[in-house]
Amino acid sequence: MSDAKKPWGGRFERSPSKFLDEFGASLPVDKRMWAEDIQGSIAHARMLANQGVISEGDADAIESGLSQIYREIRDGSFDFRIADEDIHMAIERTLTERIGPAGGRLHTARSRNDQVALDTRLFAKRRAVELLGATAKLRETLVRLASDHADTVMPGYTHLQKAQPVLFGHHLLAYFWMLSRDATRFRHAHEAADVMPLGSAALAGTTFPVDRRFVADRLGFVEVSANSMDSVSDRDFLLDLTYACTVTMIHLSRLCEELILWSSEEFGFVKMDDTYATGSSIMPQKKNPDFAELTRGKAGRVVGDLVGLLTVLKGLPLAYNKDMQEDKEGAFDAIDTTLDCLVVVDGMLATMSVDTARMRVAAHGGFMAATDLADYLVGTGMPFREAHEVVGRLVLTLEREGRTLQELSVAEFAAVDPAFGSDAPAAVNIDGVVARRVSEGGTGGEALATQLERARDVLAADTTWLEALAE
């Protein structure tokens, strides 16, 4: 039997065994929320004193005791005991041991159900801000690289086959917009978490004259929860944050897959800095993009974290259930993993070298000007389907001969179809092919310049949002 006195022990004649104490404890996971727990408890104690539920002296003693515990946990000298079950009881036990009955009054008008909901929301808000900041830093790097490579031509692919030439800066900005959508999801997750649940008690509210708005204002929440049962059982905000992490990891995985391909000898478009690569224990020549591969692999872990949380919450009756103790480990892992991977990918991009000459040579293969050649024929009045057929036959012939579209003379073009004029070779010039993509959002230089300006505006708006939160 466990010898530790339980906060609910009055109703029981026997306590769980040491094994069951360890099985049921969430302390190894939720002790990460110690700062949020102390912050919430101080606000709660001040509210109770303001409302005359406890004395000002008790509130002073509680705040002083909690402040001392805060310093000890921060400095690593606090005594965590698994028998405490969770971070809430670890702190409350220590507080009561030190300040006596005043510590026992702290839990007036609250339950661990609304307490853990509060801590988790505070934690989620803080980590959402950190994630948004990390996405902003990575997007800054993408914008800088895109600006540096605003005239670097490379092959664009569909089905992993060469399709049409694009600017490398345009390709990089595709990931900027993916990550910008991720940033929006992190902002929405922060908004979803920004609802104060304390005062809901176990599930039905409390008989004490609490001032929930006071606590919300002190803790920086914009709203107070509307329904006590929903308040203690809601983890949608955690789903939102974990989902945002999952989509971010999918995007990082896609980017890392391209970095892995581009750094291979077959592509040779980029080289990883030595600090973001490793070698082989047997093959001396190897330089492996291990950190890109690890990021790609960790995406699977975060997907699992989301599925796990969804499954935990599926089918739970109102209100709180012990199953919900399992809500944090996966969510915490998703947050930690995503933050780490954002840092890693930012470092890889910032330090890699780009072989622009190799990209340009590759952009001349694969008949990537074929669409422009068909468009040229359409400009002479030929229906597009007929033009498609003419160019398709030409590509088939050149492929057999081992030649490119750029090698054809004016006479050879005219021999294929009399609709081709003396300006036909200009239609397959790779720089011209890129430059003609002037539609909004296209890869042409002018369109890319507009896109870069728009990207900088989006980054500035996110920075303003983050700065407003910090005020």
Instruction: List residues bridging with 353 in a β-sheet.
Output: 271
Does position 2 have pLDDT exceeding 50, yes or no?
Answer: no
Give the whole-angstrom CA distance, residue 244 versus residue 200. 28
How high is the pLDDT of residue 1?
A: 38
Residue 224: in which H helix or E strand, if any? strand 223-224
- 2 catalytically annotated: no
**How far is the first Cα of the chain from the last one, in angstroms, to the nearest whole number?**
51
Nearest to 330 by CA among 362, 303, 359: 303
Q: Which CATH number does 17-108 carry?
A: 1.10.275.10
Residue 336 phi, psi dihedral angles, 5° rounding: -60, -45
Cβ-count burial 196-226 (b if 16+ within 10 Å, e if not)? bbbbbbbbebbebebebebbbebbebeebbe
What's the mean pLDDT when you consider all of the chain?
95
How confident is the model at residue 359, as a pLDDT?
97
C-alpha pair distances (Å), 42 with each of 45, 98, 173: 5, 16, 46
Class of the CATH domain delimited by 370-428: mainly alpha
In a 10 Å sphere around its CB, with 0-12 CB exposed, 13-18 middle and 19+ buried, how is residue 13 labelled? exposed
> Residues of the chain with pLDDT > 70: what percent?
98
- pLDDT tens, 96-137? 999 999 999 999 999 999 999 999 999 999 999 999 999 999
List CB contacts of 185: < 8 A, sequence separation 6 or more.
Answer: 240, 243, 244, 247, 248
Angle (CA) 291-292-293 rounded to 5° is: 90
Per the annotation, the verdict on 264 as an active-site residue is no
- What is the CATH architecture assignment of 113-203+226-362+463-470? Up-down Bundle (1.20)
Contact (Cβ atoms closer than 8 angstroms) between residue 102 and residue 58 = yes
pLDDT classification of 19: cutoffs 50, 70, 90: confident
For 158, list phi and psi in degrees, rounded to 5: -130, 145
Residues in the chain: 471
Amino acid 130 reads: E
Query: Under a CB-based contact definition with an 8 Å cutoff, are residues 30 and 87 in contact?
Result: yes
State the pLDDT at residue 21.
79
Q: Which amino acid is at 417?
A: D
Catalytic option among 77, 159, 281, 439: 159
Residue keyed to tokens 């398709």: 392
pLDDT score of 9: 66
The H or E element containing residue 195 is strand 195-196
- For every residue of 156-194, DSSP letters joined together read EEETTEEEEEEEHHHHHHHHHHHHHHHHHHHHHHHHHH-
Domain residue ranges in the chain = 17-108, 113-203+226-362+463-470, 370-428
Catalytic residue among 280, 353, 409, 422: 280
pLDDT score of 310: 98
